A and B are shown apart, each in its own frame.
Chain A
Amino acid sequence: MAACTYCSAALLVILSSLSLIILLNAQETTQIPSNPDLPVNTEAESPNTAPETPVEQEKQWEPTEVTESTPEEEDAPVAAESAPPPGTTASSAGSHSKEDFQEELVIRPLHSGDIYASFQFRTLWETDFKKGNKVSHYGLFPKSLGQVISKFSVRELHISFTQGYWRTMQWGQPFLPAPPGAELWVWFQDTVTDVDDTWKELTNVLSGIFCASLNFIDSTNTVQPSASFKPLGIGNVTDHRFLRYATLPREIVCTENLTPWKKLLPCGSKAGLAVLMKSEKLFHSSFHSEAVHIRPVCGNHQCTTTSWELRQTLDVVFDLHTSGQGKRGEMLRPLLHAERYVAGYGLQTGEIHTLMYNQHPYRSFPVLLLDSVPWYLRLYIHTLTVTSKSKENKPSYIHYQPSKDRIRPHLLEMLVQLPPNSVTEVTVQFERALLKWTEYTPDPNHGFYVGSSVVSSLVPSIVAMDTNNTQDRPLFSSFFPTKEESSYFIRVYTEPLLVNLPTPDFSMPYNVICLTCTVVAVGYGSLYNLLTRNFQIEEPSPGLAKRLANVIRKLRGVPPL
């Protein structure tokens, strides 16, 4: 645990000098021998002696100190002596696959005085899960996920669990954005025939792996975005029939999700940066987000082979205000941010407002807005308005899939051009549906959640973030692809919404049922009876003589008496 104490000491140093940004770029080298379960063929890379300056758009900070976990090498007798340059892989590994593991911790003082810690663990494995290729020997790559990939023919899998909301206005952009709750999006191989079934099974399996309520993902909260979520790995299939996207905004993230997440690491939480992850500290924070991203990437520079990349990220923001070290400043002006709220009052109708801010002084840029709204908010799509600077701003692309009650949600995607230095407001009215009484949650008066909207955009910047070359750079600077040199990709999530639906009084169903039935049976029944019955005064029944007389008269053909 020397490494641990060392790192804590380093952390202390960092915390005391808040203006520093620390890069803990520890390669999976020294800890391996201490864990006999691990194969020895993991690559050994020399630590980056001087990692390149992470390029950040505003250049607010630069790494001024680099702490390595190399001193551990002295203690570890079997420290890997081979130190090939980064990017190349040790050939001593098994001939069938190359594996590579990198881990990294970025600690960054935020504008608001809070501390942002971002862990990234990347496992690269040159193997092929497709084409019925049975993979049975697992090294660094977690077997549970490998089996998921091969069984369900997954091409890309992105899952995140987040507790809290990323405060863009105070904290700037996160390295990897994630919406509150759970988010899952998966690209399947184009060989999958029944995507919906596979998706259903996959969510149930992942639910078990991550100990989360992902099994609540069903057709009513799954959508197929047509443009917002493109594959991040190699491959050219972009037919969105093979894409599934779902969020569970209500999912609460806690240690039971963190433990299985840590188990996916090669050494669990026994070695490396993961030893720093103490639950009681991680959850004593303002923001907590853990994610797993799996995608195929190029195995080499020429891209002749395919590797699978597993990225595990953990983002935490610690609140320093409580310890008296917080500082206050005015709000940031991030280039792009978005917020959303429900307008109106009463339980019949409402209006969803989504505000998107472009704070670039002179450049306008397009954004893709994705809204997935549950069916019980019946969107009136004819009331959709998009306004910027109090003028109508016609979206150049709208993809709308209306909901079907109890089957699928609304999906609204649109491409909107945001004028420079402006607020663009998207409003749409809705009606609140009255659910069937068994469809209410156990706490219906809490309200029903609507997942975050997703705003994806290529944001213009003076300094481009080149993410193609992932080998030489710190991990945090690269995930999303960039197309142009002058712009980089940003994804922003709005806050989820809590909407109250008209709710019956469940506290006294017996009384209500009794009363209603009584009113219906007695009141309505007899009133209806009175109103529709035709009253006639009944003649007293004639005597026997008269009846006889009438029979005779009838025989004679004269009218009866």
Chain B
Amino acid sequence: MGLLSDPNRRRALITLLTRLNAPICVVCYMAGVAWFMGLAFEPFTLRTYMSENAMGSTMVEERFPAGERALATGREFAARKRKAGGMPVDWLVKTMQDRGLEVFTQRFSRTLPFPDENKERYMVKGTNVYGILRAPRAPRTEALVLSAPCSPGDNNNQAVGLLLGLVQYFRNQIYWAKDIIFLVNEHDLIGMQAWLEGYHHTNTTGMDWSPLQGRGGSIQAALSLELSSDVVTSLDLVLEGLNGQLPNLDLANLFYAFCQKIGVLCTIQGKLQRNDWDSVSGYSHAVQTMMLMVMKQASGRPWGDHGLFLRYHIEAATIKGINSFRQYKTDATTIGRLLEGMYRKLNNLLERLHQSYFFYLMPSLSHFVSIGYYMPAFGLLAAILFMRALDLWVQLTAPPPPEDGVAHIKQSSPGVLSVLTPLVISHVTGVALYALPVHFQEVAVEHFPVSETEAVVLTAIAVYTAGLALPHNTHRLLSGEGTEQGWRVLKLVAVLYLAVLLGCTAVINFSLGFILALTLVPIAAFVTPHVPKVLSAFILVLLSPACTLLFSVFFFQELQEMPVSFQEGWMLFLSVISQGILDHSLYGSLVYPLIALLIYPCWLLFWNILFWN
């Protein structure tokens, strides 16, 4: 640190950094992207391994025999469901009771802020049914959860059937050390949210639910089962939860280990893993898998019913049965044995899953990238912001004529105001973007021929666009003329603000932070009032958060090998916005408020700088 304490050497270093600022920034950006793309290259990743000793060497035998009977139960459930036109509560209660559980129900109701057109629901009323298998001689301090959703139509009947089959089998075993809670939740995530809020007696989203009558202590782990066919070709593991939270990697390892042991094809992001990592197609396959995970994590949505458990520090994952056209089929007995094995190992846990990673990306089910490997990619992008900030700082302080000190102070004192005003204006716009769409939907519906959902989305887009046209050169009213000093101070503030925002986001949700950094960092690096206005404005809009979202929608469809036309993509884009707002109000997802209240205002500051003069 003598380097910084010595004024001469410090000056030399700073001169070097300012002179080579632009090339260094470009190199950093390229290096960041290259690093990120390299993460999917198999030799750079680690093989997954079981860290938890309690689940590693203890062998368990799987003996679940009754897959066919479980499917029959599933068919009976389907018939009852059709007859009841929804959740067959009484039948489920009776069935679970007959199989020896303590059964409880929970009613809940929720009015959505606006109708959800994807799932066609607005006023949601439902009942969760759950039964607790009490572990013999355990004092109700620990529990495991197995859940299956009661979905509309013919979906997931087999999942409920298998759940009930496992109830019957598990009840007759004596080795349980933790209570096992079997939950059938209605209205998928809304029911799950109600149940979890009821279980932990919190209310974060303003839902109405009846208090739970039975509990099993602190929940250690949970699995959610989705199964819609009698046989499956592969099982897909879904990890991404609310706000990009992930369960402990050991849960994924456990699933993978049992798939290997029992001989079930397993996928992540719907993609099988391939062995030809050294070929181009093999590498691009891994990149696709990892990018899918990044996109899903960045969305901040729960991608399965398990996603809501993670807030309560309960390790959870969703297991989805997939029936494609492959030859090799797996029957319900085998899936039952897989679940039995997983639960027996979870039952052996002495502590919560904590040994393995909580922050990781998976280019395949057998390989992972830990936080120590992926963070440098973001660090390289964030370094650009600090380089630019240093450059601006030097420019602001470099020519300090000592006799001109008085004039300098005079010059900078309107600077404070000229910085503060755009900050306030852009944040007010952000608040409007956050609050107006939901609150003004009625007005919008009255005046325009649109549905509520469209009204919300269109209001959001309108506010977003209107933000661009706001009076941004307020400093001219205040100081008469936009000064060089003024925009530099504003840009310095904006760059540092962005650095802090992205840094915090990346620590919590790497994918979101990285995607935002990819688009926002170039803006922050190049925008000045002196660049060509029209071209720069175009680039700025292209790299704005909304357009990033639009591109992401197309990119995501491309990754899933379901490319869409522009028209469909646009419709998807609109529904993604409405889903984002719904996720925020229903489950407390933080992506929408983050974008609206912080990222978008920050972007507006750069927009402001472009039109400084």
B313, A500: Cβ atoms closer than 8 Å: yes
Interface residue B138 (Cβ < 8 Å from any Cβ of A): yes
Give the chain A neighbours of B172 by CB distance below 8 A: 321-322
Neighbour of A180 across the interface among B4, B139, B171, B202, CB < 8 A: B139
Closest residue to B215 on the A side, CB-wise?
Answer: A341
A319 vs B171: C-alpha distance in the bound complex, in angstroms?
Answer: 11
Shortest distance in angstroms between A357's beta carbon and chain B's nearest beta carbon?
10
Judge if B354 is at the interface, Cβ distance under 8 Å: yes
Q: How far is the CB of A199 from chain B (nearest CB, A)?
A: 25
| A353, CB-defined interface residue at 8 Å | yes
Bound complex: CA of A287 vs CA of B1, how far in Å? 66
- Chain B's interface: helix, strand, loop or mixed, by majority? loop
**Neighbouring B residues of A286 by C-beta, 8 Å:** 134, 136-137
Contacts known (A497-B217, A526-B4, A530-B4); A345 close to B139, Cβ less than 8 A: no
Q: Is the CB of A285 within 8 A of B200?
A: no
Complex Cα gap A331–B4 (Å): 74
Report whether A529 and B5 are in contact in the complex, using a CB–CB cutoff of 8 Å. Answer: yes
A507 to B358, CA, bound (A): 14
Greatest chain B CB density within 10 A among A167, A328, A505, A507 is at: A328
Q: Is the pair B136, A285 in contact by a Cβ cutoff of 8 Å?
A: yes
Give B3's nearest chain A residue, CB to CB: A526
Instruction: Give how many B residues have a beta carbon under 8 Å from the other chain's beta carbons.
Output: 33
User: Assuming the A-B contacts A345-B202, A522-B1, are A165 and B138 also in contact, with contact meaning beta carbons closer than 8 angstroms in the complex?
Assistant: yes
- A445 and B352 in contact (CB under 8 A), knowing A286-B134, A341-B201, A343-B202? yes
Question: Given that A170-B102, A497-B217 are known contacts, is A445 also in contact with B5, CB under 8 Å in the complex?
Answer: no
Is B100 positioned at the interface, with any CB of A under 8 Å from its CB? yes
Whether A345 contacts B313 by the Cβ 8 Å rule is yes
**Which residues of A are found within 8 Å of B137, using beta-carbon distances?**
163-164, 283, 285-288
- Given A446-B351, A507-B355: A496 and B141 within 8 A (CB)? yes
A164-B138 contact, Cβ under 8 Å, with A343-B200, A447-B218: yes
Please give, as numbers and ranges, the residues of chain B lying within 8 Å of A347 by CB-CB distance: 313
- The dominant DSSP class at the A interface is loop
Docked pose: A526 CA to B1 CA in angstroms: 6
User: By the criterion CB–CB under 8 Å, are B217 and A443 in contact?
Assistant: no
Contact B350 A328 (CB under 8 A): no
Q: Which of B4, B97, B218 contacts A498 (CB 8 A)?
A: B218
A321 and B352 form a contact (CB under 8 A): no
What mask results when residues 87 to 115 of chain B are scored 1 for a CB within 8 Å of chain A, else 0? 00000000001101010000000000000
B174 close to chain A: CB less than 8 A: yes
Q: Is A128 in contact with chain B by the CB < 8 A criterion?
A: no
Is B1 a contact of A328 with CB atoms below 8 Å?
no
Could you give, for residues 471-512 of chain A, a 1 whenever the CB lies within 8 Å of some chain B CB and a 0 otherwise? 000000000000000000000000111111001010100000
Cβ contacts under 8 Å, B7 to chain A: 535, 537
Instruction: Assess whether B69 is interfacial by the CB under 8 Å rule.
Output: no
Q: Is there contact, CB below 8 Å, between B218 and A342?
A: yes
Q: Is the CB of A249 within 8 A of B139?
A: yes
In the bound complex, what is the Cα–Cα distance between A167 and B354 (angstroms)? 31
B 2-26 to A, binary, CB cutoff 8 A, 1 in contact else 0: 0011010000000000000000000
For B172, give the chain A residue with the smallest CB separation: A322
Nearest first, the 9 A-B pairs at minimum CB distance are A180-B139, A526-B1, A343-B201, A445-B351, A164-B137, A498-B141, A495-B140, A163-B137, A165-B139
- Which positions in A face B, CB cutoff 8 Å? 163-165, 167, 169-170, 180-181, 249, 283-288, 319, 321-322, 326, 328, 330-331, 339, 341-347, 351, 353, 443-447, 449, 495-500, 503, 505, 507, 522, 525-526, 529-530, 533, 535, 537
Question: 17 A-B pairs, CB-CB below 8 angstroms?
Answer: A165-B139, A169-B102, A285-B137, A322-B171, A328-B98, A328-B100, A331-B102, A343-B202, A345-B200, A345-B202, A345-B311, A446-B350, A446-B351, A447-B218, A495-B141, A496-B139, A503-B354
Known: A287-B137, A500-B313. 15 other contacts (CB 8 A): A164-B139, A170-B102, A181-B139, A249-B139, A285-B137, A319-B136, A321-B100, A328-B98, A342-B218, A344-B201, A345-B202, A345-B311, A345-B312, A444-B351, A496-B141
